Amino acid sequence: VDMGKLAQMLMYDAKIVQTGDSIEEAIKRARELEHEMGWYQATTELNPLSIEGLKTISYELVEQNGVPDYVILAMGSGATIHSLWKGFKEMEQLGIIDHKPRMIGVQAEGCSPITQAYDKGTDTPIKLKKRETEASAIRVAEPIYGKLALEALKESNGFAVSVTDNEMLEAGMEIARNEGIFAEPASSAPVASLQHKMVQDRIDQDAKIVCLVTSSGLKTDDILRNITKRKKSPRLGSRLATKERILRIINQGSTYGYAIWKNLGSDMTIGAVYQHLTDLEKKGLIKSTQMGKRKELEITERGKRALEALDDLQVLL
């Protein structure tokens, strides 16, 4: 359980019952406790009022901005896409709108039973043995609303795609930088999908798109775990630290290899510095111009964005 979500439960004096290793096992136990203890069933996947509540999102979208051409949202149990599609159908029946948007469902690449079913053309989610994603909110191998989610995709003439954990994390950083919203990885999946080839091929550039961001990153451990893994990996170790130092030197103004080596001190050989410079230029982070016998080095816009991203990571850590 994510510590942020557990903290909320404890603050409201909830009775915590932890069981199993997956959402499915927890839901099964919640169903049993309803009958054993006579408790009210508030679990989203088991309470029809949850669907009615989620459905109002579609009404709010129409009220605020009219009918979009596409609504892109993450899929775990499938409840959200089913609920919104239910709302759009109701509004059309009531004469509030004269057409409905196409629905695009997004799942994690390592746990995508609905997307795989869509790709295979079946109306039942594919049974998975593993749930390989850090995005806990959509780590659902047996989606209760899976059939209804596939129905929403089919009826709306929409489609489903999957994205990697890394793509979700990067999209989350973009959302935070550009919109000031700290979204959990699962909620960043719709924005991550905009880079997907299928999405770019099938959606016109002037289409009106809504990406639904459903939950705050403050509630989840997903982001911190992913950033920590990156920090500990070899590519984000000493090599990245050196490249960052070199980038920051070049960012201060155009310079050349020997001057950078002198600036770094005796930490490494001049050959190692030039190897780093070659790597940075290949990645498009710096550019060189031949000035007489030496190459003048400048940082590119991409290099500046890389430094900004590193600054953001330091704030999060």
Residue 30 and residue 54 in one domain? no
Residue 281 and residue 147 in one domain? no
Please give the model's pTM, rounded to 2 decimal places.
Answer: 0.67
Residue 292 and residue 246 in one domain? yes
8-state DSSP, 183: B
Residue 250 and residue 141 in one domain? no
pLDDT digits (tens, 9 = 90+) for 165-185: 999 999 998 998 888 888 999
Burial group, residue 171, by CB count within 10 angstroms (0-12, 13-18, 19+): buried
Q: Does the pLDDT of residue 303 top 80, yes or no?
A: yes
Q: Cβ(51)–Cβ(83) under 8 Å? A: yes
Domain count, the chain: 3
Q: Does the pLDDT of residue 268 top 60, yes or no?
A: yes
8-state DSSP, 164: -
Q: How far apart are CA 148 and CA 109, in angstroms?
A: 20
Q: How far apart are CA 263 and CA 185, in angstroms?
A: 39
Residue 156 and residue 199 in one domain? yes
- Residue 23 belongs to what domain range? 3-37
Out of 1-10, 284-293, 294-303, pick the least confident.
1-10
Among 247, 244, 74, which Cα is nearest to 165's?
A: 74
Q: Does the pLDDT of residue 155 top 60, yes or no?
A: yes
Residue 125 and residue 171 in one domain? yes
What average pLDDT does this structure show over 130-147? 91
Q: Does the pLDDT of residue 311 top 80, yes or no?
A: no
- The tokens describing 268, both together, are 């490494």
Q: DSSP per residue over 110-149, as a string?
A: TB-HHHHHHHHT-SSPPP-S----S-GGG--SS-TTHHHH
Residue 26 and residue 93 in one domain? no
Among 187, 220, 253, give the residue marking a domain's end: 220
Q: Does the pLDDT of residue 223 top 70, yes or no?
A: no
Q: Which residues contact 213 (CB under 8 A, 6 or more apart)?
A: 175, 181, 183, 187, 188, 190, 191
Residue 120 and residue 256 in one domain? no
| Cross-sheet strand order for the sheet of 102-108 | 159-163, 102-108, 70-74, 209-211
Alpha helices for the chain (secondary structure H) = 3-11, 23-37, 48-65, 79-93, 113-120, 146-155, 165-179, 185-192, 197-202, 222-232, 238-251, 257-264, 270-282, 301-316
Mean pLDDT of the chain: 88
Amino acid at 169: L
Q: Given this model, what pLDDT does residue 235 score?
A: 43
Q: How far apart are CA 145 and CA 78, in angstroms?
A: 5
Residue 146 and residue 175 in one domain? yes
Residue 282 and residue 182 in one domain? no
CATH number, domain of 284, equals 1.10.10.10
pLDDT digits (tens, 9 = 90+) for 38-47: 989 988 888 9
Q: Tell me the C-alpha to C-alpha distance, in Å, between residue 128 and each of 50, 125, 143, 241.
A: 26, 9, 11, 40
